[in-house]
Amino acid sequence: MSTLIFFEHKNDNISIASLHAVTAAKQIGGDVVALIAGSSCTPAAEAAAKVPYVSKVIKIDSKEYEHLMPENLAILIARIAANSYSHVLAAATSMGKNIMPRVAALLDVAQVSEIVEVINENTFVRPIYAGNALATVQSLDAIKVVTVRSTNFDAVATTGGSAKIENNNGEGDTGLSKFVSTQQSNVDRPDLLSAKVIVSGGRGMQNGANFKMLEEIADKLGGAVGATRAAVDAGFLSNEYQIGQTGKVVAPDLYIAVGISGAIQHLAGMKNSKVIVAINNDEDAPIFKIADYCLVGDLFKVLPELKASLDNL
Amino acid sequence: MKVIVSVKRVVNHNVKIRIKADQSGVDLTNVKMSMNPFDEIAVEEAIRLKEAGKASEIIAVSIGPIQAQETIRTALAMGADRGIHVINDIEIEPITIAKILKSIVEKINSTICFFGKQAIDDDCNQTGQMLSALLGWSQATFVSRIEINDNEVTVNREIDGGLETIKVNTPVVITTDLRLNEPRFVSLPNIIKAKKKTIDQIMLSDLGINLSSHLKTIKVVEPPERKSGIKVANVCELLSKLKNEAKVI
Ligand SMILES: Cc1cc2nc3c(=O)[nH]c(=O)nc-3n(C[C@H](O)[C@H](O)[C@H](O)COP(=O)(O)OP(=O)(O)OC[C@H]3O[C@@H](n4cnc5c(N)ncnc54)[C@H](O)[C@@H]3O)c2cc1C
Ligand SMILES: Nc1ncnc2c1ncn2[C@@H]1O[C@H](COP(=O)(O)O)[C@@H](O)[C@H]1O
C-alpha cells in the first residue's frame, strides 16, 4: 500500500493544507510519497522532503506546471498514480477540488470528496447535505482518489523528515488553458483555515465599512475575519471570506458570529468550531441553537463595548 | 454554437433532511425537490449567451427518475430550447454521470457544457471536472464571470485566496459559482410555452455504459449535535466566560 499526495505549493514553498493530508495518509497506512509538480520548484520539493512521514518526493520541474493548471497536472498525476499507488490524496482546497476529479476520471475511478475520517484503508466518512448527514463509504476501486477536509486532520510538522527527492518527466503542455492573473487580498491577519479565532459577520453588519469593527476585534484576538454568503453577495467583503457549504470550512477555537442568522448552509462551514459565540438582536435566530454563548443585543451597541473591554483586558 | 446545461433534481435547499432509521440513507419521501441551485445559475448563464447571440441552442440534460422531467421543464421555462432526460432509478456516482453525459455531448456536438459546481445533496463537486477529463476538453470551474470571444473564453474563478483569471479554449466545461448571476424567475406564460418544448427520453440501459458501482455506502448517520449553550447578559459576562470557563481568550 502506498499513497501519493498531490502537494500544493507556490514553487518556492509548500501549502499548509497539504500537511493535513499527510495526517490522513498516515492514518490510511503504508508509504507516503509527495508529488511536487511545478516550474523552478526545487525549494518546494526540498520543503516537502522535510515533512515527517514523507518517504519520497517526486519532483517534476517543467514549464507546463508553473501555474498548476488542471488539464496538464491531471494527466501527469494519473500517469504516476497508475504505476504503483493504492491511494491518491489532496487537500480539499479549491485547487484540490479542481484537479482531483480530473485525475479520478482519467483513472476511471470514483473520487471520495472531503473526507472527515479514515475508518480503514478503503472506508471513509464524508459529510453530505451540507453536513447534515455523515456518510460512511467504502471504495471498491483499485486506486482510491480522495480529498481531505483540513479541519478534521491535524497538520504534521514542517520539519523532522528527510525524504529523498526523485526527478520525473513532465507530460508536455496540453495548451487547453492559460493562467492570466490572480487578485488576492493581502491582509496581515491569519488565514481563515488556520486561524484560532474567527470573527464573522453577516447581513446584520449592514455595509462593508462596518466590518472595520470586526477587524479591530479580530486584531485584538489575533484572529481572522469571515462572512456569510449574504454579506459577500451584498459586496461587504470579497468571496474568499465566505464560510459555509460553498465557501470555506473552518473550525477555530473561537468563532464569534455577529449579525448572522445561522442558515444551515452557513453552519455547514463553522459548526465544528470549538467554542461558538453568537451576537444577534433576534432572540429566535437559529444561530443561538448551536452557540455556546448567546448574547441577545444590537451589534452596534455590543461591538463598541466588546472592543473597549478588550482594550482594557 | 450548441450549449448543454446539466441539471440535477435535488432536495430543496430549505428542507431539513431526515435520516432513515435503518441508516441506509436520507429519507426522500414527500420531501420538496427542486433544481440544484448552482444548476439554475448554469441555465441562466446559458440563456444569457443565447440572448447575446453567442449560443444557437440550449439543451438541458438531467439523469434521474421520472420526476426529473420537472427539473428539465423548469429549465425549459427559464428559456432552454429542448431537453434530454436519461431515465434512471438507481444511485450512480459522478464518474458514471460523467460517462453518460459524455455520450450525449458527443451525439449533440456541443461547444460549451455548463454545470453547477456542486450538487447540494451529495456535495461531491466532481462531475463537471470528470466530464471535461473524459472529453479531453478545457475546464473552468467555480466561475463567477465569463467573457466569450470566438474560440477563447476568459473567466474569473473563485479560489481560496480570492479570484483567479484564466483563458480557456473551446470546447469547454464550465462549472458555476453562486455569484455568476442571479437566475430569473419563470413567468406563467413561459411555463405554458415550456410544455410544448420537446424532451427526449433515453433509457439509461440503452446507452451501453458500464454501471458497476465504485463506492458502497455503509451507513448514513446524523452528525453529533452540539449541546445547547447559555445566554449571557452582557459583554462583561461574555468575556469572563470566554476567559475563565472556555479558556479561549
Ligand atoms: C446553494 C446555497 C449555498 C449557500 N452557501 C452558503 C455558504 O457557503 N455560506 C453562507 O453563509 N450562506 C450560504 N447560503 C446562504 C444561506 O442560505 C443564507 O441565506 C445566509 O447564510 C444568510 O446570511 P446572514 O446570516 O448574513 O443573513 P440573514 O439571514 O439575513 O441574517 C442576518 C441576521 O442579522 C441579525 N441582525 C440584523 N441587524 C442586527 C443588529 N443590529 N444587531 C444584531 N443582529 C442583527 C438578524 O436578526 C439576522 O438574524 C447558501 C444558500 C444556498 C441556496
Ligand atoms: N443526475 C444528474 N443529472 C444532471 N446533472 C447532474 C447530475 N448529477 C450531477 N450533475 C451535474 O453535476 C454538477 C455537480 O454535481 P456533483 O459532482 O455531484 O456535486 C451538478 O451541479 C449538475 O450540474
Chain A nearest-CA distance from B192, in A, is 32
3-state SS of chain A?
CEEEEECCECCCCECHHHHHHHHHHHHHCCEEEEEEEECCCHHHHHHHHCCCCCCEEEEEECHHHCCCCHHHHHHHHHHHHHHHCCEEEEECCHHHHHHHHHHHHHHCCCEEEEECEEEECCEEEEEECCCCEEEEEEECCCCEEEEECHHHCCCCCCCCCCCEEEECCCCCCCCCEEEEEEEECCCCCCCCCCCCEEEEECHHHCCCCCHHHHHHHHHHHCCEEEECHHHHHCCCCCHHHEECCCCECCCCCEEEEECCCCCHHHHCCCCCCCEEEEEECCCCCCHHHHCCEEEECCHHHHHHHHHHHHHCC
For residue A211, the model assigns a pLDDT of 98
Residue A35 inside a domain? The answer is yes
Same domain, A107 and A212: no
Same domain, A227 and A106: no
What is the CATH number for A48?
Answer: 3.40.50.620
Cell triple for residue B46?
A: 446559458
Low-confidence ranges of chain A (pLDDT < 50): none
DSSP structural state of residue B88: -
pTM: 0.97
Is the distance from CB of B36 to CB of B5 less than 8 angstroms?
A: no
Which atom of ligand 2 is closest in space to residue B86's alpha carbon?
Answer: 3
For residue A188, the model assigns a pLDDT of 77
Same domain, A111 and A256: no
**Predicted ipTM beyond 0.85:** yes
State whether the beta carbon of A120 lies less than 6 angstroms from ligand 1. Answer: no
For residue A189, the model assigns a pLDDT of 84
Q: Is B5 helix (H, G, I), strand (E, B) or coil?
A: strand
Structural domains in chain A (count): 2
Residue A244 inside a domain? The answer is yes
Residue A285 inside a domain? The answer is yes
- Hey, which of B3, B5, B6, B41 would you mutate to test ligand 2's pocket, going by the most ligand atoms within 8 Å of its Cβ? B6
Is the distance from CB of A40 to CB of A69 less than 8 angstroms?
A: no
Domain residue limits at A268: 197-312
Same domain, A253 and A114: no
Residue A230 inside a domain? The answer is yes
Same domain, A150 and A217: no
* Consecutive H or E run containing B189: helix B188-194
According to CATH, the topology of domain B2-244 is: Rossmann fold (3.40.50)
For residue A187, the model assigns a pLDDT of 72
Averages of pLDDT over runs of 10 residues in chain B (249 residues) are 98 96 96 98 98 97 97 98 96 96 97 98 98 98 95 95 95 97 95 97 94 96 92 97 96
Same domain, A127 and A269: no
Residue A31: partners with Cβ closer than 8 Å, 6 or more residues away:
A1, A2, A3, A55, A56
Across B119-242, where does the E strand assignment appear? 138-149, 152-159, 162-169, 172-176, 199-203, 215-221, 230-231
Same domain, A39 and A141: yes
Same domain, A158 and A202: no
Using CA coordinates, name the residue in chain A closest to B234: A295
Cβ contacts of B249 on chain A, cutoff 8 Å = 197, 221, 254, 313
Residue A75 inside a domain? The answer is yes
Chain B nearest-CA distance from A193, in A, is 10
Note the pLDDT tens digit of each residue in A79-130.
Answer: 999 988 999 999 999 999 999 999 999 999 999 999 999 999 999 999 999 9
Is the distance from CB of A74 to CB of B133 less than 8 angstroms?
A: yes
Chain A nearest-CA distance from B195, in A, is 31
What is the CATH number for A220?
Answer: 3.40.50.1220
In whole angstroms, what is the distance from residue B78 CA to residue A200 CA?
36
Same domain, A205 and A270: yes
Is the distance from CB of B152 to CB of B196 less than 8 angstroms?
A: no
For residue A186, the model assigns a pLDDT of 67
- Hey, which of A128, A132, A200, A203 would you mutate to test ligand 1's pocket, going by the most ligand atoms within 8 Å of its Cβ? A203
Peptide bond into B171 cis (omega under 30): yes
Residue A186 inside a domain? The answer is no
Point out the domain boundary residue: A122, A147, A167. A167
Same domain, A134 and A233: no
Cell triple for residue A78?
A: 494519473
Contact B162 A137 (CB under 8 A): no
Contact B219 A232 (CB under 8 A): no
Note the pLDDT tens digit of each residue in B148-157.
Answer: 988 899 999 9
Residue B103: partners with Cβ closer than 8 Å, 6 or more residues away:
B207, B209
Binding-site residues of A sit at: 203, 228-229, 242-246, 259-266, 280
Contact A140 B216 (CB under 8 A): yes
Contact A292 B229 (CB under 8 A): yes
In whole angstroms, what is the distance from residue A11 CA to residue A8 CA?
9
In whole angstroms, what is the distance from residue A1 CA to residue A3 CA?
7
Point out the domain boundary residue: A110, A145, A167. A167
**Which residue type does B77 have?**
A
Residue B49: partners with Cβ closer than 8 Å, 6 or more residues away:
B3, B55, B112, B148
Point out the domain boundary residue: A167, A182, A212. A167
Same domain, A213 and A131: no
For residue A69, the model assigns a pLDDT of 98
Cell triple for residue B220?
A: 448514513
State whether the beta carbon of B8 lies less than 6 angstroms from ligand 2. Answer: yes
Residue A31 inside a domain? The answer is yes
In whole angstroms, what is the distance from residue A222 CA to residue A309 CA?
16
Residue A306 inside a domain? The answer is yes
In whole angstroms, what is the distance from residue A267 CA to residue B105 CA?
37
Same domain, A24 and A161: yes
